[in-house]
Amino acid sequence: MHPLVESFLLIYAGLFPFVNPVGSAPIFLAMTASQSEAVRRSLARRVALNGFLLLLGSLFIGSHVLTFFGISLPILRIGGGLAVASFGWTMLRDGVQPARETEEVDEDSPVGAFYPLTMPLTVGPGSIAVAVAVAHNGRRRWRT
């Protein structure tokens, strides 16, 4: 198999469970329930672009940042796993806040495209850790 196709499939298979677009769609819809369809589309585009740029930055400079701070790849994997487990436990313990139906919602009040939709929801610490680990392993494999 061509190395470029192999790398793409490895990155896709590693990141898809963490980014989880199918599971994030209902959360996105709930968070933007008061927004118009045009605002939702605009937010979805900005979230996708922000997430892509964040993961791309993690792929290209993440391992250099780890080297600079002296963090090894196994520690990154353990830290990413603990962060994902912590967020999952918090969501499981606290549950979902019910929607407020009594208050009027301002149609012009924007929901943040970067925070909270991109950073913790779409691209969180788990996906950043996977991107850095894949890039680190890829660089080591391509050098030999």
In a domain, 90, yes or no: yes
The per-residue pLDDT for 7 is: 80
In a domain, 103, yes or no: no
The per-residue pLDDT for 6 is: 85
**10-residue block means of pLDDT along the chain (144 residues)?**
84 88 88 89 92 91 88 85 83 66 49 77 84 78 57
In a domain, 20, yes or no: yes
In order, the DSSP letters of 90-142 are HHHHH--PPP--SS---TT-PPPIIIIIIIIIIS-HHHHHHHHHHHHHHHHHH
In a domain, 100, yes or no: no
The per-residue pLDDT for 103 is: 44
The per-residue pLDDT for 74 is: 87
In a domain, 64, yes or no: yes
**How many domains does the chain fold into?**
1
Peptide bond into 116 cis (omega under 30): yes
In a domain, 99, yes or no: no
- From its phi and psi, is residue 109 left (phi > 0), alpha (psi between -120 and 50) or beta? beta
In a domain, 138, yes or no: yes
- State the residue range of the domain holding 78: 3-94+108-143
- Please state the pTM of the whole predicted model: 0.73
In a domain, 69, yes or no: yes
